[in-house]
Amino acid sequence: MKNISKIRHFLTFALLITSTIILAGCGSSESKVAERQAYVIPDSLFKTLAIDTVIKTQYDNSITFTGKVAFNDDHVVNVYPMVSGVIQDIKVMLGDYVSAGQTLAIIKSAEMAQMSSDLLNAETNLRLAEKTLDKTKDMYKSGLASLTDSLSAEVSVQQAKAELTRVHRVLKINGDNKEGDYVIKAPVSGFIVQKLVTNNTAIRVDNATNLFTISDLKNVWVLANVYESNIGNVHLNDPVDVTTLSYPGKVYKGKVDKVFNVLDPTNKVMRLRVVLDNPDYALKPEMFANITVSSKEDKKVLAIPSSALIFDHSQYYVLLVKSPKDVEITPVQVINKVGDKTYITSGVQEGDKIIGSQTILIYDALNS
């Protein structure tokens, strides 16, 4: 009986072990089935996705440089003092728009006072010379004066007229003010972009500092910094797109107007210049700018929208799609990105369909 009982216990224990192994095997099989189940994009999400096509197009070897907006030096006027004196009654502020001929400030000047005195003296001398000439002519007719006296009186009149003309010209050059003040006027229309004086400032003509700087800003320069490695990729008249931080959605179209063929000794960069029309004065000097120079090459390469690109673990990927059930993560080799277009050399073929929106969401789901 004891042997029979032992046999029963042994059979029960063996049955339990066998059942456990079978159950474990089933669980492992179900787990493997679950692991093999591919991710399927839900129909509600798939309908909203942008599906793009890989195309072959002309390669645009564009490069983006940093730079800034600057004055157009050809349309900038520096206003210097013509006389010494003391600045009084400044009528404009930095940033004001002024018209040609508008008064900017007044200088109380001893030189202008002397010019006014010279004018008065010249006018008086001319009247006196003319009266002397009339008197000498009468005396000559009466035989009381010689011909030499008459000719001398005529010369004195001509000299007095010449002196008066000289004084008028000097006054006109200096504002033609006969009250002893020098009136500083705007020589051109534009904006006051520099103001380097205040009221009661004493100035001298031998000082090289300008008082005001005026620029019309109707067109401006954009100066880009080109590093040595990119010098060979920019050329005169290359098309250019300019964007700014202030207007991120606006692109200004232009071309390379000048290439400065020298490098800055400090920054080791070469500068290029773009001239842009600025009718609404939106572009202001010293604004930060990005300058994209387009240099098209005579070859065709594969291109995809930049929105379809995924960067992870030092590698670019796209999501190749055939159906909601057939989505594949595909590595690609990028050669350049220009705006919303990316040029690639491998990984996909012309005509392949790729996902162009919600890419990060689907990429994470495929990797989970």
Tell me: the pLDDT tens digits for 263-278?
988 888 999 999 999 9
| Position 7 pLDDT exceeds 50 | no
pTM above 0.85, yes or no: no
> What's the rounded mean pLDDT across residues 110-133?
81
Q: What is the third-level CATH fold of 64-73+217-296?
A: Elongation Factor Tu (Ef-tu); domain 3 (2.40.30)
Q: What's the pLDDT band for 138 if we cut at 50, 70, 90?
A: confident
The per-residue pLDDT of the chain, averaged, comes to 83
**d(C-alpha 133, C-alpha 158), whole Å:** 11
For residue 37, the model assigns a pLDDT of 60
| CATH class of the structural domain 43-61+298-367 | mainly beta
The CA-based angle 48-327-351, given to 5 degrees, is: 85
For residue 12, the model assigns a pLDDT of 47
Domains of the chain by residue range: 43-61+298-367, 64-73+217-296, 117-174
> What's the rounded mean pLDDT across residues 6-28?
47
**d(C-alpha 87, C-alpha 184), whole Å:** 10
The lowest-confidence range among 5-19, 163-177, 251-265, 339-353 is: 5-19
For residue 4, the model assigns a pLDDT of 47
> What's the rounded mean pLDDT across residues 63-70?
91
For residue 295, the model assigns a pLDDT of 72
From first CA to last CA, the distance across the chain in angstroms is: 59
CATH of domain 117-174: 1.10.287
